[in-house]
Amino acid sequence: MFGDISPQYHPLTPETIADYVFSRPELTTVFHAGEALEAEEVGDGNLNLVFKVRAKADAKRTIVFKQAVPYLRLVGDSWPLPTDRARIEAQALEIEARLCPEHTPKVYFYDPDMYLIAMQNLTDHIIMRKGLIKGIKYPLFAKHIGKFMARTLGNTSDLVLDYRTKKLEVARFINPELCKITEDLVFTEPYRRTDRNPYHIELEPQVLALQADEALRVQVAQMKEKFMTQAQALVHGDLHTGSIMINQTETYVIDPEFAFYAPMGFDIGAVIANLFLSYASHEVRLPDPETRADFRAYLLDSIRELWHVFVAEFQPIWAQVDSINMPRGYQEDYMLRLLQDSAGMGACKMMRRIIGLAGVEDIRGIEDVHDRSIAASLALNIAQTLIMQRHDFKTIEEIIEAATACRPTYPWVS
């Protein structure tokens, strides 16, 4: 995990990647040896180099190369990161492709010496977050993501895997360094004073009140404990709307380098949280009241639908368990706990996006400081409601009702 760097490893550049491409036998069906290629580095993340390579003669012949670098780019060399995450991502993609190929990019190969994955270039899709910011609806998203989560989560759990496979998979997907990032940035730092919480100063009164709320910190600690101990299923681990490539007909989930065995609610909650963050941003983003109301209704409908699709797609799994030892009452209780976990985990994801190191463009990108603070304040209030009331929620409709009853606290009334 922290072994020596492979002697063959070298970071690729747009200049050197052509030689690498032609050296790989897996790509001879895509590119012709020696032909002219175009390459650009497009990584906007913090962990990796990402190259898009196209044949000059035919832009449709294109591949993405994702190469892990041994440090966190956002922070620099001071935060070393194991290149083992490239293996984790490649193996998670392999499992996702088996369980839900229609929403997983095709992988050409994984190169363990270069910490590199070659995969399908999704040229007709955009990062979902960018679309949501513009107010673009994706009518099939809820159906696609609900199915993706039910298939990938349900089928990697003890409900489906035999006892030995499950336990060996837990060991294979031990992912300490990337888990640590989540433990710190999602479950620890937002709830205390630290230099790494770059929230905008206008929001300070609400952030300080939140950090002073011991009852909230108790609930967050429970979610952190669950994240660190409950090996329920192979989660994507970073399933926000920036990890989804989408258009009107297709949805792809990318970047599972944070994958490990964790509560299913961490993935489900991440999706719901990011839709609620978009909902909060559109308190101020879309200027026309009618467009705004319509788009926010779409977001809430998506939250509702993705949960119902998830439940429906889970039915084949319940149909195959032994109903003596897992009777109907247990199955219902299991799904209810998933719903409540999702509310709690999602809430933590929302709070970190407002208070902590990695904000979301949906809200931090709002230029007007007054508007931005309104959206951020609303997001925090939704999050606090979701985590504090989660044990009371029996349906996704109750979660949506509780969230939509929230209002921004900002501007402060003295």
Task: Report the interface residues with a copy of itself, using CB under 8 A.
Answer: 158, 163-164, 166-168, 170-171, 174-177, 179-180, 183, 187-188, 191-192, 214-215, 217-218, 220-222, 224-225, 228-232, 324-330, 333-334
Instruction: Give the nearest distance from C-beta 361 to a copy of itself in angstroms.
Output: 27
Q: Which is nearer to a copy of itself, 183 or 371 (CB)?
A: 183
Q: Which is nearer to a copy of itself, 20 or 191 (CB)?
A: 191
Q: Which is nearer to a copy of itself, 107 or 317 (CB)?
A: 317
Instruction: Give the nearest distance from C-beta 374 to a copy of itself in angstroms.
Output: 28
Cα–Cα dist 108/120, whole Å? 8
Q: Which is nearer to a copy of itself, 98 or 180 (CB)?
A: 180
β-pair partners for 80: 71
Cα–Cα dist 405/414, whole Å? 23
DSSP E strand stretches across 58-125: 58-68, 71-72, 76-80, 107-111, 116-120
- Residue type, position 51, single letter: F
Instruction: Give the nearest distance from C-beta 311 to a copy of itself in angstroms.
Output: 18
Instruction: Give the nearest distance from C-beta 185 to a copy of itself in angstroms.
Output: 13
Tokens of 285: 């983003």
Tokens of 3: 């072994």
Q: Of the candidates 294, 287, 292, 285, which has an alpha carbon nearest to the alpha carbon of residue 362? A: 285
Q: Of the candidates 30, 26, 308, 323, which has an alpha carbon nearest to the alpha carbon of residue 149? A: 308
Q: Which is nearer to a copy of itself, 42 or 174 (CB)?
A: 174
Instruction: Give the nearest distance from C-beta 37 to a copy of itself in angstroms.
Output: 40
Sorted by sequence, the CB contacts under 8 Å of residue 391 that are 6+ apart come out as: 340
Q: Which is nearer to a copy of itself, 214 or 290 (CB)?
A: 214
In terms of DSSP bridges, do strands 37-41 and 58-68 run parallel, antiparallel, or are they unpaired?
A: unpaired
Instruction: Give the nearest distance from C-beta 78 to a copy of itself in angstroms.
Output: 18
Cα–Cα dist 119/52, whole Å? 10
